[in-house]
């Protein structure tokens, strides 16, 4: 019978076992137990499993109750997207006979998947808020976990000697395989794409609902001319097919920043977390051991966090929340007030920041707010009575949405030197962890490629994005306890 050979052919097909994970964004995420065994082993390490206990959006659940997803699920999504990007670009490289690109993607495939999985393994509780307390970037902590005395390093080195250093270099954007670096860290990368899709879905703010399938279909990678005469490899979209999608991608970022990442309620909570930890640190310096031991060790060793990685890995969201619960009854009025506010969602209230205010005036308002608060029964020193917030105090970076320049520390007139550290202003923002050794800056542009492979920067091809980039988002606010909001509003009106 004619069907017998066909049946024999079917019987000869090897069915490879796969690990299947249900995901709300990508539906099914699958890993081959044969070809991707290293990925499955990394997922099962205690260092990666810890990400179950780190929320992806930190305190955003206080604004959007559904936003309780974790760094664990995000990391799986990034790895899934990395595989899809690699497959699509490899196919196009064959079509276009781009042998160098094809080789780079093939040779770097497992590096790319491991880097995608582990890119956030160094994040701590409340992520960016904690970074501003410790002054240690999560990328540095990721590198320390990947190359330190951990199960992750053990498995990476068992896969290939020196592989842990390669993965760390990829996350630090210094690896020689620039094609893979750009897929993980650029303005159009797998990390950014997954968190936009995931954060939009889980928060219920559907601004990030992009056409993922068409985006992957229009993916391109090519060379871009740099101002210094060199060339760099960049990931982008097809100019003819992907322009509208690129605009959608940027508008999704704009709305997610405006309505989710920088929401006034979320920012109030983040500022309160930063200040409650600052207060606990101040009391610890005075002799009262309040901070979680792991966090205290990290702050003490901030210049060499690699020495305390084992302790750092015990820090989770639950660790800090347990301390906030306990601190509600602490005799220090500042620590207890802020802790009760976080636990009971009695957050500071925002008031728009008038552009004409000088740093010295903001400091005067802080002092005045403390005095008014004292008459109302609040025992808050100046720096805890009024918070200043602007883009320089935010951890997010986006040259299209927030602009590309960052304000730096500066001494300013009108504030006593011994107190100048107590005010957060545009000219003296909260310190940002700097790029450290072993890291490089990420790409600041989104590119489109025409049929000849020539790159066009997105704002040059789109009037919409050109306008958006020229109107960088500025969200500057003052925050005070609710009892002081009406006073502050009236005070600012009188100053206008």
* Residue 416, pLDDT above cutoff 50: no
* Domains of the chain, first to last: 15-261 (1.10.3210.10), 264-441+473-495 (1.20.1250.30)
According to DSSP, the β-strands at 231-238 and 447-449 are parallel
CB 141, CB 50: distance < 8 Å: no
- Note the pLDDT tens digit of each residue in 4-57: 444 444 445 555 689 999 999 999 999 999 999 999 999 999 999 999 999 999
Burial class (CB in 10 A: 0-12, 13-18, 19+), 452: exposed
Q: Which SS3 state, helix, strand or coil, does residue 455 take?
A: strand
DSSP 8-state secondary structure symbol assigned to residue 364:
H
φ, ψ of residue 117 to 5 degrees: the values are -65, -40
* Residue 494, pLDDT above cutoff 50: yes
Q: What is the pTM of this model?
A: 0.88
Q: What is the pLDDT of residue 437?
A: 52
Q: What is the pLDDT of residue 415?
A: 36
- Note the pLDDT tens digit of each residue in 231-281: 888 999 999 999 999 999 999 998 998 899 999 999 999 999 999 999 999
φ, ψ of residue 348 to 5 degrees: the values are -60, 150
The two three-digit tokens of residue 41, written as one number = 């082993």
Give the end-to-end CA distance of the chain in Å, rounded to a whole number: 93
- Note the pLDDT tens digit of each residue in 299-310: 999 899 999 999
Q: How many CB atoms lie within 10 A of CB 258?
A: 15
Q: Which SS3 state, helix, strand or coil, does residue 75 take?
A: helix
Distance CA 297, CA 308 (A): 7
Distance CA 482, CA 488 (A): 10
CB 448, CB 236: distance < 8 Å: yes
Burial class (CB in 10 A: 0-12, 13-18, 19+), 451: exposed
């Amino acid at each position: 019978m004619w069907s017998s050979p066909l049946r024999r052919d079917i019987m000869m097909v090897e069915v490879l076992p796969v690990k299947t994970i249900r995901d709300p964004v990508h539906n099914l995420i699958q890993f081959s137990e044969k070809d991707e065994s290293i990925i499955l082993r990394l997922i099962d390490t205690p260092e990666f499993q810890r990400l179950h206990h780190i929320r992806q959006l930190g305190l955003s659940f206080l604004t959007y109750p559904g936003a309780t997803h974790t760094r664990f699920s995000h990391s799986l999504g990034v790895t899934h997207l990395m595989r899809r990007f690699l497959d699509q670009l490899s196919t196009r490289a064959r079509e276009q006979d781009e042998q160098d690109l094809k080789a780079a993607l093939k040779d770097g495939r497992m590096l790319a998947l491991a880097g995608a999985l582990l890119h956030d393994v160094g994040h701590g509780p409340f992520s960016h808020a904690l970074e501003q307390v410790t002054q240690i970037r999560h990328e540095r902590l990721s590198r320390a976990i990947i190359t330190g005395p951990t199960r992750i390093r053990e498995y990476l080195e068992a896969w290939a000697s020196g592989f842990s250093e390669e993965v760390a270099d990829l996350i630090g954007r210094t690896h020689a395989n620039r094609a893979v670096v750009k897929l993980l860290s650029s303005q159009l990368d797998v990390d950014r794409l997954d968190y936009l899709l995931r954060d939009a879905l889980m928060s219920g703010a559907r601004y990030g609902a992009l056409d993922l399938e068409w985006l992957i279909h229009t993916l391109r990678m090519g060379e871009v001319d740099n101002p210094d005469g060199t060339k760099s490899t960049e990931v982008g979209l097809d100019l003819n097919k992907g322009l509208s999608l690129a605009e959608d991608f940027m508008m999704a970022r704009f709305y997610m920043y405006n309505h989710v990442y920088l929401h006034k309620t979320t920012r109030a909570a983040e500022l309160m977390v930063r200040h409650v930890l600052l207060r606990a640190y101040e009391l610890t310096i005075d002799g009262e051991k309040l901070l979680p031991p792991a966090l205290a060790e990290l702050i003490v060793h901030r210049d060499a966090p690699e020495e305390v990685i084992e302790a750092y890995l015990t820090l989770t969201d639950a660790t800090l929340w347990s301390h906030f619960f306990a601190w509600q009854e602490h005799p220090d009025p500042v620590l207890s007030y802020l802790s009760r506010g976080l636990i009971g969602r009695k957050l500071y209230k925002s008031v728009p920041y008038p552009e004409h205010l000088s740093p010295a005036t903001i400091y005067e308002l802080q002092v005045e707010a403390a005095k008014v608060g004292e008459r109302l029964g609040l025992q808050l020193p100046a720096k805890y009575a009024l918070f200043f917030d602007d883009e320089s105090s935010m951890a997010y970076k986006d040259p299209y949405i927030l602009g590309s320049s960052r304000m730096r520390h500066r001494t300013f007139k009108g504030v006593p030197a011994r107190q100048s550290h107590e005010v957060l202003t545009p000219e003296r923002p909260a310190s940002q962890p700097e790029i450290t050794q072993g890291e490089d800056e990420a790409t600041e542009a989104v590119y489109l490629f025409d049929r000849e492979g020539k790159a066009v920067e997105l704002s040059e091809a789109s009037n919409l994005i050109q306008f958006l980039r020229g109107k960088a988002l500025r969200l500057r606010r003052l925050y005070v306890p609710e009892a002081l909001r009406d006073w502050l509003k009236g005070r600012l009106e009188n100053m206008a």
